[in-house]
Chains A and B, each alone.
Chain A
Amino acid sequence: MTIRLNRVQNPGTFDAPAPFKMMLLTFCVLGALTFAIGLSVSPTRAWASFVHNHFYFMSLALGGLFFASIQWLTGAMWSAPLRRLSESLTAYLPLVLLSFAILYFGIQSLYPWSNPEHVFGDPILEGKTGYLNTGFFVIRNLLGLAVWLFFSKVMIGNSLKQDISGDHRLTERNRSLSPVFLILFAITFTSASFDQLMSLDPHWFSTIFGVYCFAGLFYAALAAICLLTVYLKSQGKLKELVNENHLHDLGKFMFAFTIFWAYIGFSQFMLIWYANLPEETGYYLKRMHSNWYYVSAFLLVGKFLTPFFLLITRSAKRNSRVLAGVAVFMLIAQWIDVLWMVQPEFFSDGPVFGFIEIGVTLGFSGIFGITVARFLRKNNVVAIGDPRLAESLRHEQ
């Protein structure tokens, strides 16, 4: 009885089809144009849409790093053939720096605490100026970004180096780095979500807000990883490497974190609703009346119940078509969730959705898509040097 453990066919890199790349490039141009037009037509809408998509795609990229680092930390075997795809999402992280630099010019339009006239005479906002001021805001965000960029550079660098050397010590190094990253991630991502989204209404606060944003981050990142996996499998890149047992595990993850998101979302809602304190309840008042009510209802029915019932059966989690469909739906649902966090602060009558929102979203998705496609064109789509890869090919439930 001989088992050859080291014979894994390297599927190599992946070059996205040319029309697809052209489409992404068009998206970028369209996005830049609409943002420029939007700034002159309706700066509030343009900036609201900008911070919305900035946060959404930043979360997606960070989610890739988060997923990869929990795999290193736990020494997971099942995820070895698809971990590189979660790493590919982080290719967008350096561009978060650029998009934050642009966001800097929108601080005045977005955040009431940055306007001295608004703050003056309001004892609560005056009391918060030590924390909520432009200088400190920028420092906190840049610090967070520096942490994420550093760890993605080192850990994903290690992973890519392993493709060539196959040195298992690189896995061990990442295993040691992961907990450090995860602790710093918890702090920096909480602070980023407090800063970028929660402070849109500087009066309001919710201590669970960071966890809520994290739940959405992981929800969307798992969907993105799933979508990439199914797509590359359909392109014949992962045919021998990813079988339905891997998809099943990914599906369980998506199912579990659908429930986790609902759990965290409800925890935030119920405590505020039950206590009904004026300083807390305004956030939900805005979102439970006017047309925002329907968006809130969508979050319950669409973001939670739909993936829950679609993914509950075993056969659905083992079917790549069902998984891909649910993954697309989850990505859209998360986008609507971030919209629901941002827009009610500016438009109390209901969601505003027009060419500015579409254009800016397309622009961001174009840039995101190009960075991920470039990563996959330059690097192997599978962590071919991973010591757990060979074992993972025989993964069975």
Chain B
Amino acid sequence: MNSGKNFAGVIGFFDEPRALLEATRQVRDANFARFDSFTPYPVHGMDAAQGIKRSRIPYVTFVAGLCGFLFAFWFQYWTMAVDWPLNVGGKPFNSWPAFVPVMFELTVLVAGLSTLVAMLYFNRLPNVFRRGFDPSITRDRFALLIEPPASEKEATEFLEQIGAKEVRAVYAQGWFE
């Protein structure tokens, strides 16, 4: 099992969130290319400690919402005033107030669905090739995973040096192995 090709990184465990935050900062500053932190609950300041930039999802949401809005207006205008002009209560064919509810709905629908898709894309989800490293990180422990290209020796030494309580190499395991 412990063959080199399945090596997925080195994981270090910490007992409390502040220690993990501090360790994460050190890993960030040591310029490891790929690493991740695991906590049983959200920890404030983790984004900054990991050096994660602001998400780009809001821009996707905005542009998608705008597209939905414009599409809904154009489509209603085209159907009601161009393709099949319909006299409703003597109002002008292009009666924009009547279009607003549909414009609003499509804005929200397109923006919402695009946000979901963008979120999955940016998070590289769904990912069925990864399994939990240790059940304790969903319960009461805090873990830090340093992934390749860092070598096993390099990562192990660094994690031990920054005070991880337990350090071990992990190997890729997946449901579809």
Question: A residues near B, CB below 8 A?
Answer: 1, 266, 269-270, 273-274, 276, 312, 314, 396
Contact residues in A for B58 (Cβ distance below 8 Å): 314
Main secondary structure of the interface of B (DSSP, over half): helix
Q: List 19 A-B contacts (CB under 8 A).
A: A1-B18, A266-B97, A266-B100, A269-B97, A270-B97, A270-B98, A270-B100, A270-B101, A273-B97, A274-B89, A274-B97, A274-B98, A276-B89, A276-B91, A312-B62, A314-B54, A314-B58, A396-B44, A396-B45
Contact residues in B for A266 (Cβ distance below 8 Å): 97, 100
Contact residues in A for B54 (Cβ distance below 8 Å): 314
CB-based nearest B residue for A273: B97
Contact residues in B for A273 (Cβ distance below 8 Å): 97
Determine how close the nearest CB of chain A comes to the CB of B12; give it in whole angstroms.
21
Contact residues in A for B98 (Cβ distance below 8 Å): 270, 274
Question: B residues near A, CB below 8 A?
Answer: 18, 44-45, 54, 58, 62, 89, 91, 97-98, 100-101
Contact residues in B for A312 (Cβ distance below 8 Å): 62
Contact residues in B for A1 (Cβ distance below 8 Å): 18
CB-based nearest A residue for B98: A274
Contact residues in A for B18 (Cβ distance below 8 Å): 1
Contact residues in B for A276 (Cβ distance below 8 Å): 89, 91
Contact residues in A for B45 (Cβ distance below 8 Å): 396
A314 to B18, CA, bound (A): 27
Contact residues in A for B97 (Cβ distance below 8 Å): 266, 269-270, 273-274
Contact residues in A for B100 (Cβ distance below 8 Å): 266, 270
A276 to B54, CA, bound (A): 48
A270 to B102, CA, bound (A): 13
CB-based nearest A residue for B45: A396
Determine how close the nearest CB of chain A comes to the CB of B55; give it in whole angstroms.
10
A396 to B42, CA, bound (A): 13
A314 to B58, CA, bound (A): 10
CB-based nearest B residue for A269: B97
A312 to B62, CA, bound (A): 10
CB-based nearest A residue for B58: A314
CB-based nearest B residue for A312: B62
CB-based nearest B residue for A276: B89
Apart from A266-B97, A276-B91, A396-B44: 12 A-B pairs, beta carbons within 8 A: A1-B18, A266-B100, A270-B97, A270-B98, A270-B100, A274-B97, A274-B98, A276-B89, A312-B62, A314-B54, A314-B58, A396-B45
Determine how close the nearest CB of chain A comes to the CB of B1; give it in whole angstroms.
40
Determine how close the nearest CB of chain A comes to the CB of B62; give it in whole angstroms.
8
CB-based nearest A residue for B16: A1
A266 to B98, CA, bound (A): 11
Determine how close the nearest CB of chain A comes to the CB of B82; give it in whole angstroms.
22
A266 to B89, CA, bound (A): 20
Determine how close the nearest CB of chain A comes to the CB of B94; give it in whole angstroms.
14
A1 to B18, CA, bound (A): 10
CB-based nearest A residue for B18: A1
Closest 4 CB pairs of A and B: A270-B97, A396-B44, A273-B97, A276-B89
A1 to B45, CA, bound (A): 18
CB-based nearest A residue for B62: A312
CB-based nearest B residue for A1: B18
Contact residues in B for A269 (Cβ distance below 8 Å): 97
A170 to B27, CA, bound (A): 48
CB-based nearest B residue for A394: B44
A270 to B96, CA, bound (A): 10
Contact residues in B for A274 (Cβ distance below 8 Å): 89, 97-98
Determine how close the nearest CB of chain B comes to the CB of A374; give it in whole angstroms.
40
Contact residues in A for B44 (Cβ distance below 8 Å): 396
Determine how close the nearest CB of chain A comes to the CB of B105; give it in whole angstroms.
13
Determine how close the nearest CB of chain A comes to the CB of B19; give it in whole angstroms.
11
A269 to B44, CA, bound (A): 45
A312 to B91, CA, bound (A): 34
CB-based nearest B residue for A263: B104
A158 to B101, CA, bound (A): 45
A396 to B91, CA, bound (A): 51
Determine how close the nearest CB of chain A comes to the CB of B65; give it in whole angstroms.
11
A274 to B90, CA, bound (A): 11
CB-based nearest A residue for B90: A276
Determine how close the nearest CB of chain A comes to the CB of B72; give it in whole angstroms.
15
Determine how close the nearest CB of chain A comes to the CB of B138; give it in whole angstroms.
24
A1 to B58, CA, bound (A): 37
A219 to B133, CA, bound (A): 50
CB-based nearest A residue for B44: A396
Contact residues in A for B91 (Cβ distance below 8 Å): 276
Determine how close the nearest CB of chain A comes to the CB of B168; give it in whole angstroms.
28
Contact residues in A for B101 (Cβ distance below 8 Å): 270
A266 to B100, CA, bound (A): 9
A270 to B91, CA, bound (A): 13
Contact residues in B for A314 (Cβ distance below 8 Å): 54, 58
Determine how close the nearest CB of chain A comes to the CB of B123; give it in whole angstroms.
20
Determine how close the nearest CB of chain A comes to the CB of B102; give it in whole angstroms.
12
Determine how close the nearest CB of chain B comes to the CB of A393; give it in whole angstroms.
14
Determine how close the nearest CB of chain B comes to the CB of A112; give it in whole angstroms.
29
